Structure formats: C-alpha cells, structure tokens
Chains A and B, each alone.
Chain A
C-alpha cells in the first residue's frame, strides 16, 4: 500500500519570504499523481498544485511550485513571496493511476504559519 510522509508537523515563514514543505511517499508504481492541498481554518480543502509522475517538468502555479524527484520519491512544495493568506494546513496526497478507486492517500499535514 502507498504511504505519504510529511516530516514537518509545523513550519513558519516571514511574510514575503520563501518556504519549502517536504513530502515523501512510498510506492511500487511507476505511474501516479501527486497533489498538494491547502486547508485553511475554514476547513475547506483547496487544491494548490498537481504533478503527473510521467512528467519530468516540475509543476508551477503562480507563487507555488514543486520539486518532484521521482527516484527519491520526494515531492516538496515551495511557496514564494508568502502571504498572510497562505497560513493553513498543507496536505500532500498520492493518487494511483491504476483503475479502480483512484482514491487519495494523504500525509498527516504541515501547519504553516505566516508571520507579518
């Protein structure tokens, strides 16, 4: 079974600075998908960014980018120019490409605090 590990329970960053959140995963599959979700205090789960494992190019979405290292099974999230609204729990998630449930397997999350 696939597992996702987020080794940083909490992180903090100064407003306008850059922060990187770590995620590693374990799988025997060669094709899969990885996601970062944000959960603000409102509890709503919001997709931040996604990465297809077959793509070598790292995904980017405005201030958010990933460093995807397939051989190392690592998928870190970089937030540039941090804003107060970025404060939230961030969850890394793995999704198999095999037919069937296409379920997400989540890490335990990293709580990000943004200091003004």
Chain B
C-alpha cells in the first residue's frame, strides 16, 4: 500500500493564481481531511469528508474548496491565492471510529508570492 499520497511536494504561486493540491489514499478509508500547518503552529483543519459526495468545513475553510467524487481522492482547490495561504498542507485519512489512527501524507509546501 502506498498509504496517503500528495502532489506536488512543493509549489510557488503568484498572488491571484489558482491551483489544486492532489490527495489520494489506497486504504479504503471513509474519512479524509485537509490540514494546514503554519510555522510554529500545530495543524488546523481546513475541510473534511466522511465519504464520497460528502464534505464539510473545518476551522479555516476560507479561500479553499474541496470535492470528493471517489473514496480514494480528495483534492483541495485554492482560488485566488494570497500570501496568507503560504503554509504546509497535509492530507490525512482514517477509518471511522475515534480511536483509529489518522494516516498523513508527506505534505505540500506552498509559497504564495
């Protein structure tokens, strides 16, 4: 199993550009998440999904959009990139059930200039 994969690993955007961060998992997990990690901070939840076709906002959703058309994929869309979106983005997935581990992807470092 590849686990949780994310592409790209690094990206530099200009202000106002848009892009999609890709996330895929091959563990047949229902739950998927997008977090962002700012320097010196813990991870904050952007969006999550409890299954294909179902998504909901987390703590910091402004400036982002998501979709979940399949169990495996959970892309994160940035529209009109702003410097405040400079961060490291992590995708994660888990089985349903609070004690279950969330498995994280390797992260995408995004810089908006």
Contact = CB atoms under 8 A, between A and B. Distances in A.
Interface of A: 4, 9, 32-33, 35, 42-45, 47, 50, 52, 91, 93, 95-97, 100-109
Contacts of B12: none
Nearest to B108: A43
- B: interface residue count bin: 20 to 34
Contact of B44 (A44, A47, A106): A106
Contacts of B40: 9, 108-109
Most chain A beta carbons < 10 A, residue from B40, B43, B101 = B43
Contact of A101 (B56, B88, B99, B101): B56
B98 to A, nearest CB: 4
A7 to B, nearest CB: 13
B94 interface: yes
A104 B104 CA distance: 12
B31 A102 contact: yes
B96 interface: yes
